[in-house]
Amino acid sequence: MTQTMPQQMWHRQSRHICWLMAALVVAGLAAGDALPFLYTNTRAAINWTQPQLDEWKIEAQPRSVVPHVQFKYHANRTNSEPADSDAEFLERLRALRQNRSSARMLWYDAAAGDGLTYPPFVDKALKLFNLKQVAFEIENSVLSKVSCTACKAGAGLLQHYIKSGKTDAELMKMIAQYCTNLNIQSPRVCEGVAQLFGSEVIYVLQRVNLGPDELCSFIIGDGCGDVYNPYHEWEVIFPPVPKPPRLAELPIPLEAAPFFKVLHISDTHYDPHYVEGANADCNEPLCCRLSSGRPANPNAAAGKWGDYRKCDTPKRTVDNMLAHIADTHKDIDYILWTGDLPPHDVWNQTKQENLEIIKETVKQMTEKFPGVPIFPALGNHESAPVNSFPPPYVNQVDISINWLYDELDVQWRRWLPQSVSHTVRRGAFYSVLVRPGFRIISLNMNYCNNKNWWLLLNSTDPATELQWFIYELQSAEFSNEKVHVIGHIPPGHSDCLKVWSRNFYKIISRYESTITAQFYGHTHFDEFEMFYDPHDLTHPNSIAYIGPSVSPYYDLNPGYRIYYVDGDHDTTTRLVIDHESWIMNLKEANLYGYPIWYKLYTARAAYNMQALRPNDWDKLLNDLTDNQELFEMYYKNYWKNSPARPTCDAECKKRMLCDCKSGRSHDRRHFCADVESKIDEGSSKSWKSWFYRGLTNSTGEQQTEEQNNTEFNEFGVSDVVFGVFG
C-alpha cells in the first residue's frame, strides 16, 4: 500500500526501541500474572536524589582564541554562476544513454500485505496495542497514544520482570524469542537487537526510580503526556550580563563583498557491505547486502549507485560525489560535516566496525579535500549501539563512551586546534575561532536525544555542555565575535528532549546578536527550522539550516549543500548570503550507468527572497502557508526531487510547516496554531472555490448551448453536484 506523506516523512531510525517494546507487550499478554501490574493506577513515588556534582570547571579549560584558518584568495569569484539549462541537462542524459553499457530501470514497488498468520494470543495483542502501528510510529518519530499505551505496557513489564529477579540473560532471551515469533523482525535482527540494546536498557531501568508514565513521557514526549519529574526539569544559568539591544532589522549583506564558500555534507551512511544486484526489498531494516538474500525478481535488485528502498550509500557513490565536488567546487573555503557516517544495520554493529568506518571516511575526506578545513559534528549513529552516549559520570570501562570520543579527538585533530582536545574527549563538542571575529561551535546533540537511554538516569545538562555553550557565547559577545553553531539532531526535532530543547531555545534568544546561523542534519530532508523570541513570537531571531542527506535512505535522492557566507570585510554580518542544494537523480544514474550531480535550486531565486535573514525566512514561511504553488516547489526540494516522494495533503502540509516554525521540540501547540488555522481555512476556501467554479462553468456552458445551439453540454449542474456528493 502506498504511504502518504504524513506516514513517510519523519526520520527513519531507532527501531530497537519499538522492537523491544512490541515484544515485551506480547510477552505480558502471554504471562497473565503480569497484567495486574500493567494497569494499576498506583505507582511508587519518585525517589529523587541530588546527582553527584561534576568537578569539571569550564573557565579553567583552554580556549581557541587565535584564528585557526587562513583562507586562499580566489580572484573574480562569484556566487551567481549559471546552472545547466534543462536542455543542456537533457542533452547530457542523451549522451549517456548512447554510451551506456547496460540499462536497468529502478522502480519503487511497495508490496501489499504481509500474509502473516498469528496465534490467538498474539492476535489479541495486536488488537489491543496495534503493534505494527507502534513499530511504524516509533521508527518514524511520529508518536500517538497507541505508542504511548504500548510503551507504558512494555516498560511496566520489563520493570516487573526485573523486580521479580529474572536475570539479564533470561530477559534478553525472552525479548528475542517474542520478537522472532511475532515476525516483528527476522530472527537474526531480533537476536542482535536483544543482545545489543537489551543489556543497556536493563542496566538503566535497574537504576531509576521512575514509573512507566515518567519513562514514556521522557521517550515519547507530548504524545504521552507532560509528566513532571525532577530529573528532567532543570534550567541553565545565564551570567548577570544584560542582553545587548536588538536591531530593528538586520542589515542585508553587501552583494559585492568578499564571501566564504562552504560545503555542507551530512548523513553519509556509507555501507561497506552494499552489493549491486542484491535484494533491495528484504524484510530487515537495511537491505542491498549479500545477507539480504536473492531478489525475488529483477525489479527487486539493488541498483549500481544506490536504491530508493531501505538501502544506504555504496562506496562508489560516496567516491563519485566527493570527486564531483572537488572538481566542480574548487574554491571551497571550509566544510561542515554534520555526522551519521555508519549504515543503518543497527542490530549487528560493533564498536570496532564503526571506528573503521569513521577512520575510512576521515581518510577519504582528507584525500579529496587536501588543505581544506573541515569542522565535524557527531551523529547519533557513530556509537555502537546506536543512540548510546553515556554522560561522563558513567565511567565504567565496559560502558563508558571514551572508546569513541578518544578516537574522534585523534581523527578530528588533523583539522582542529590542540586547544579543543579536552572538550572533544569529554563530550565531543568544541569551539574554534575560525577567523578574526568569526567562531564555529560544534555541539554534541546526542545529549538531547530522547533515544539515548542513559539520560533516563539524569538528563540535567549532560557533560555540562549547555553551560559551556553559554560560557563560549558570552566570551564571544565580549570579543564582538559572530558564531555559527553546528550539530546533528535539530533542536526542534521530536528526537530532542523537551527540557534540553527549551533551555537551548532560551540560549539562542539571549545570544541572538552573536549567533548568525545554525547548521544540522539528521532528518535526511532539505529543510529549515525557525527560532523566535520566547516573549515575542512575532520576532524571528535565528534560522537553522537542515542539510540534505548523502544517503538515499529511503525514497530520496542523494544530495549536499553549498552555502555562501558573508566573508572578511569591515561591515561583515557573517550571515548566510545564499545557499544551493545539489542532488543526483538516482533513478537516472542506475538507468544510464553513471550519475550526474546538478544544482536543484538556489534558495533566494527559487523562493524569491530578498535575503536569508531570520525575518526573510519567517516571511517565506507565511508565503508557503498561503501560496500552494510555492509550497509544492518547497515540497519537491524537501524531497530532493525524488520520484518516489508521496503525495502531500493538508495534514502533511501542516506537519511540514509546523516543523519549520518549531525550533523548540514537543511544543507544536505553542507555535503552530496560526499556521494550522491558515491551512485549514485555505483548504476550505479551495474546496468551496472548486465547487462554485464548477457551478459557474456549468451554468455558463448551458447558456452557451442555448445561444449557439451546440451539440454537446460537457458539464451540467447535476453532474458537478453528483461528482462532489455522489
**Known binding-site positions for Zn(2+):** 267, 269, 340, 380, 488, 522, 524
Given a contact cutoff of 8 angstroms between Cβ atoms, the answer to whether 347 and 189 are in contact is yes
**CA–CA distances in Å: residue 534 to residues 461, 475, 520:** 20, 23, 22
Hey, what amino acid is at 450?
N
Cis peptide before 385 (omega within 30 of 0): yes
Q: CA 369, 375, 378 angle in degrees (round to 5)?
A: 120
Distance CA 600, CA 579 (A): 11
Give the max Cα distance, the chain: 93
Distance CA 27, CA 630 (A): 49
| H helices present in 296-371, as ranges | 315-328, 351-368
Distance CA 567, CA 74 (A): 12
Packing angle, helices 614-626 and 673-708, rounded to 10: 40
- What is the dihedral angle through the alpha carbons of 31, 35, 36, 37, rounded to the nearest 10 degrees? 100
Packing angle, helices 145-163 and 168-181, rounded to 10: 140
Distance CA 500, CA 236 (A): 9
Task: Give Cβ neighbours of residue 250 (< 8 Å, ≥ 6 apart).
Answer: 573, 575, 613, 614, 615
Hey, what amino acid is at 386?
V
Distance CA 546, CA 519 (A): 6
Given a contact cutoff of 8 angstroms between Cβ atoms, the answer to whether 524 and 549 are in contact is yes
Distance CA 331, CA 320 (A): 18
Which 3-state string (H, E, C) describes 539-552? EEEEEEEECCCCCC
Distance CA 216, CA 456 (A): 10
Task: Name which of 346, 382, 355 is nearest 192 in CA terms.
Answer: 346
Q: Which stretch of DSSP H or E encloses residue 527?
A: strand 527-533
Given a contact cutoff of 8 angstroms between Cβ atoms, the answer to whether 441 and 520 are in contact is no
Q: Which stretch of DSSP H or E encloses residue 598?
A: strand 597-602
Q: Which stretch of DSSP H or E encloses residue 157?
A: helix 145-163
| H helices present in 374-510, as ranges | 402-412, 421-427, 465-478, 498-510
Distance CA 99, CA 591 (A): 12
Give binding residues as ranges: 267, 269, 340, 380, 488, 522, 524
Q: What are phi and psi of 89, to 5 degrees?
A: -65, -45
User: Exposed (0-12), middle (13-18) or buried (19+): which is 361, by Cβ within 10 Å?
Assistant: buried
